[in-house]
Structure 1
Amino acid sequence: MKVHPEMSAKHMAWIEKQKMFFVGTAPLASDGHVNLSPKGGDSFRVLGPLEVAYLDYTGSGAETIAHLRENGRMVIMFCAFEGAPQIFRLHGTGTAHLKGSDEYERLATHFPQNTGARAIIHLDVKRVADSCGYSVPLYEYQGDREVLDKWASKKGEDGIIAYQQEKNLQSIDGLPSIDPR
């Protein structure tokens, strides 16, 4: 493993080519559930050598948002599934900016509009590290799934809000996530 003072231009270019990444967070409680979420789509942006953000889509849970509200700890990991082996981790302090907030609107200019979006997760990177990834298998990218976009379009804005109110108000450990509207 090698720790870097920041992401280099080469690191940033490699990250931007990845089709999938993983987000890890945890509550402070020792008996709380650690969360690891796979992410994809056109949702990740490198904003600077120590700053990244991703568009957070509505889902069945809202663990990442709840954990970030409680303590801000987050790691984002990228794995090379094609080409040379590589693992890249970005540790730092994350903030969830809910759709409709001023900061969401400012950051949203970096992303395509998406009906299913509920937040933009912003990470101030404190640690940049890479490792070999020699045991990560090779996979062939076939394309993005369209299921979430079709689901969100069918629900519409009001349906998405209703779904979030039903499913996303708190984490599985009872921590507050999105605010009731």
Structure 2
Amino acid sequence: MGKLFTALLPEHMEFIQKQRMFFVGTAPLHAEGHINISPKGYDALRIFSPTEIAYLDLTGSGNETSAHLEENRRITFMFIALEGPPMILRLYGKGRVILPGTEEWNHWTPKFELLPGTRQIICAELHAVKTSCGFSIPYYSYSGDRDTLKKWAENKGDSELTNYQHEKNITSMDGLITSIGLKAGKAKDF
């Protein structure tokens, strides 16, 4: 059933490119800290090599992924087959956050279609790829993307969006500083 690989194979890449949703998991180092699992949609993920992927991260009510990556860089991606043959694909790696206004940002953004509310790009170097059966995952049919987040960001505008990020996206729920917080001059708590 399950198999472990050191990099993405062509069939893994093909599977990922067919998925309309994926999940990102991160966690702080301290045992009492909250584990974060975040669903992602839109056409936001790119595969750059068998060991390098990145996704466009949009503004949300929290920024746990960024805080955890600043602390320890651990990240896991999960893709599940909701149509066709059953499959769960997990990617394990070390991630980093790329913020607007940096030289890296200018390098990475042409690889994406920037969406309203874009706040950062999350890049990951993979060290393990694992498949498992997915036999219990139900079938679901895709009927379209929600446009709610895009409309929300468009209605806010750039200035209000920046204010929102500084209000909601500077620290994690456990008090860890995010990349946006570090850029704004906040000190790390650890």
Measured against aligned partners, the alpha-carbon deviations of 1:68-98 in whole angstroms (never above 9, x if no partner) come to: 0000001000000011101000001000111
Name the residue aligned to 2:110.
Answer: 109
Name the residue aligned to 1:143.
Answer: 144
Name the residue aligned to 1:30.
Answer: 31
Name the residue aligned to 2:40.
Answer: 39
88-97 vs 5-14, which moves further: 5-14
62-71 vs 152-161, which moves further: 152-161
> Is 1:130 equivalent to 2:131 in the alignment?
yes
> Is 1:172 equivalent to 2:139 in the alignment?
no
Q: Is the 8 A contact 1:93 1:123 kept in 2?
A: yes
Name the residue aligned to 1:53.
Answer: 54
Task: Give the letter aligned to residue 100 of structure 1.
Answer: G
- Structure 1 residue 99, shift from structure 2 partner: 2.0
Q: Secondary structure at 1:94's aligned position in 2?
A: strand
- Whole-angstrom CA distance in 2 between matches of 1:170 and 1:105: 25
109-118 vs 45-54, which moves further: 109-118
- Structure 1 residue 115, shift from structure 2 partner: 2.5
Aligned residues: 181
Q: Secondary structure at 2:119's aligned position in 1?
A: strand
- Whole-angstrom CA distance in 1 between matches of 2:100 and 2:146: 23
Aligned pairs (5 A) from 1:82-121:
82-121=83-122
Q: Secondary structure at 1:16's aligned position in 2?
A: helix
- Structure 1 residue 108, shift from structure 2 partner: 1.1
> Is 1:4 equivalent to 2:2 in the alignment?
no
Name the residue aligned to 1:13.
Answer: 14
Measured against aligned partners, the alpha-carbon deviations of 1:144-169 in whole angstroms (never above 9, x if no partner) come to: 00001101111111111010011001
Task: Give the letter aligned to residue 114 of structure 1.
Answer: L
> Is 1:76 equivalent to 2:77 in the alignment?
yes
Scaled by the length of structure 1, the TM-score of the pair is: 0.97
Q: Is the 8 A contact 1:99 1:117 kept in 2?
A: no
Stretches of structure 1 lacking an aligned partner (at least 5 in a row) = none
Task: Give the letter aligned to residue 98 of structure 2.
Answer: H
Name the residue aligned to 1:161.
Answer: 162
- Whole-angstrom CA distance in 2 between matches of 1:164 and 1:26: 21
Scaled by the length of structure 2, the TM-score of the pair is: 0.93
Q: Is the 8 A contact 1:57 1:118 kept in 2?
A: yes
Q: Secondary structure at 2:11's aligned position in 1?
A: helix
Stretches of structure 2 lacking an aligned partner (at least 5 in a row) = 186-190
- Structure 1 residue 104, shift from structure 2 partner: 2.0
- Whole-angstrom CA distance in 1 between matches of 2:108 and 2:29: 28
Paired-residue identity, %: 49
Alignment RMSD (CA, Å):
1.0
